[in-house]
Amino acid sequence: MTGHSIYEMVKRLFPICRSITGNGVRQTLRIIKQYIPEMEIVEVPTGTRAFDWLVPREWNIRDAYILDPEGRKIVDFKQSNLHVVGYSIPVNRTIPLSELQEHLYSLPGQPEAIPYVTSYYREWWGFCLTEKQRLSLKPGNYHVYIDSSLTEGSLTYGELILPGKTEKEVFLSTYICHPSLANNELSGPCVTTFLARWLSSLAHRKYTYRIIFIPETIGSLVYLSRHLPVMQKNIVAGFNVTCVGDNRSYSFLPSRYGNTLADRVSLHVLKHMHPDFIHYSFLDRGSDERQYCSPGVDLPVVSVMRSKYGAYPEYHTSLDNLELVSPEGLQGGYEVLQKCIECIERNEKLIVTVLGEPQLGKRGLYPTLSIKNRPSQVKDMLNLLAYCDGANDLLAIAELIGKPAWELFALVELLKEHNLLREAD
């Protein structure tokens, strides 16, 4: 089961302290490149414009901790990289508890969890800790130390193009900017890596695959600002791959109007594979579809997920860890995306080559003896043929006749071999 290998990869990437820039991202991309060597790593300098945004300064962190009045290290970045607010500026001071409190973040409703907090675009420093630990702090002077740097540098992302028969593209985007968080985030890049390996291994690809590993928001904006015309020209369907690692629900988040090929294929696959999936609204979005589906960008991008970001209690806390995701959970996320891709690869408008029903019997495709009910495979074949009128693609036909598209793949092949079916112009 591929899920085991994906889980091993998640474990390997888990300890790294990622952010939207910095060495944690580079280290992550170098490990991903070990799995998919064709991937290129791209650096974009601080200050580069991306539509309404600028690439921020690069952030790196080496160490951070709080010493209590007795000099004991009570909060330690080396124990959990969630302990430091992302993009914290350097600090090295002794301050009373009252002042420290203004820089502490915890979750009263989840007293055992360390929250994940960032401050990318305003200079600030802070520590995150459990509510339980926070309540145990006694008055006195605390030493706070953050050995970080914010410097001119660059934003780093990975890009893999797998060419196909046509220049039309399927797009996979996933993000690599969260520190030690498992479902949201590492499930995304790791499942994407294994999808890329599978796609790379295929003897035949109809579509070209554009696969990117980027920091969320600023990364997708940067990438779009550099590639928008070709993406708009070529992408037929795209998936923002995130939150595909836990074992609970399946979820779907549509594109802006919910009417693209990516929407159609995802709903078709989920309906047949996981009919109890949760159908979110575009209003519930919160990841890079915010950029991909924005007005004027208008890419056909959706998210097919397990438990959606923001919709499970462990989200953005230290509880979103290696216990929350599992080989089975990752396998489920991997398979549903794989099935979507297969359906896109096999999707085409079809047309029958004869008028009236073909005489299936003389080709051995029809029972010679007519006795009450027809077998169901013959029914499927006749129904498939009935809607192959050049107006419908295979997905539409599958919807019309109430079958998973993948149950029709072999029938389409068979009917093509008998010259009864061809791709419509």
Is 415:385 a contact under the CB 8 Å cutoff? yes
Terminal alpha carbon distance of the chain: 40
Q: Which of 39, 75, 212, 388 binds a second copy (CB under 8 A)?
A: 388
Using the rule CB under 8 A, is 395 a contact of a second copy? no
Using the rule CB under 8 A, is 251 a contact of a second copy? no
* 269-273, Cβ contacts within 8 angstroms, sequence gap of 24 or more: 269/304, 269/336, 269/339, 269/340, 269/343, 269/404, 270/304, 270/336, 272/404, 273/335, 273/336, 273/339, 273/404
For the bound state, the minimum distance from the C-beta of residue 209 to a second copy, rounded and expressed in Å, comes to 23
Using the rule CB under 8 A, is 402 a contact of a second copy? yes
Using the rule CB under 8 A, is 399 a contact of a second copy? no
Using the rule CB under 8 A, is 119 a contact of a second copy? yes
- Choices 141-149, 204-212, 239-247, 381-389; region in contact with a second copy by CB under 8 A: 381-389
Q: Which of 40, 43, 111, 121 binds a second copy (CB under 8 A)?
A: 121
Which of 69, 310 has the CB closer to a second copy?
Answer: 310
Maximum Cα–Cα distance for the chain, whole Å? 93
Q: Which of 256, 274, 306, 339 binds a second copy (CB under 8 A)?
A: 256
Please give the torsion angle defined by the CA atoms of residues 333, 336, 340 and 346, in that order, rounded to the nearest 10 degrees.
130
Which spans in 166-217 are helix H?
187-201
Write down how long the chain is.
425
Which of 111, 361 has the CB closer to a second copy?
Answer: 361
> Tokens 């949201």 label which residue?
184
User: Which residues from 55-94 bind a second copy, rule CB under 8 A?
Assistant: 85
How many CB atoms within 10 Å of residue 415? 24
Using the rule CB under 8 A, is 225 a contact of a second copy? yes
For the bound state, the minimum distance from the C-beta of residue 400 to a second copy, rounded and expressed in Å, comes to 8
Using the rule CB under 8 A, is 407 a contact of a second copy? no
Q: Which of 118, 183, 184, 192 binds a second copy (CB under 8 A)?
A: 118
- Choices 163-171, 282-290, 327-335, 338-346; region in contact with a second copy by CB under 8 A: 282-290
CA separation for the pair 414, 166 (Å, rounded) = 24
Using the rule CB under 8 A, is 111 a contact of a second copy? no
- Choices 40-48, 49-57, 62-70, 236-244; region in contact with a second copy by CB under 8 A: 49-57
Which of 314, 335 has the CB closer to a second copy?
Answer: 314
CA separation for the pair 331, 156 (Å, rounded) = 28
Using the rule CB under 8 A, is 134 a contact of a second copy? no
Which of 15, 313 has the CB closer to a second copy?
Answer: 313
Site track for a second copy across 315-344, x = CB under 8 A: xx----------------------------
Q: Classify 196 as helix, strand or coil.
A: helix
Is 150:89 a contact under the CB 8 Å cutoff? yes
Which of 74, 228 has the CB closer to a second copy?
Answer: 228
Q: Which of 351, 378, 396, 414 binds a second copy (CB under 8 A)?
A: 351
Q: Which of 15, 140, 361, 375 binds a second copy (CB under 8 A)?
A: 361
Name residues whose C-beta falls within 8 Å of residue 165's C-beta, 6 or more positions apart in sequence: 204, 205, 206, 207
Residue 249: closest CA among 276, 209, 221? 276
DSSP β-bridge partners for residue 61: 148
How many CB atoms within 10 Å of residue 139? 9
CA separation for the pair 102, 93 (Å, rounded) = 14
The CA-atom distances, in angstroms, between 166 and each of 169, 204, 263 are 8, 11, 21
Which stretches of the chain bind a second copy, using CB under 8 A? 50-53, 85, 105, 107, 115, 117-122, 124, 217, 220-221, 224-225, 228, 256, 282-283, 286, 290-291, 293-298, 310, 315-316, 351-352, 354-359, 361-362, 368-374, 379, 382-383, 385-390, 401-402
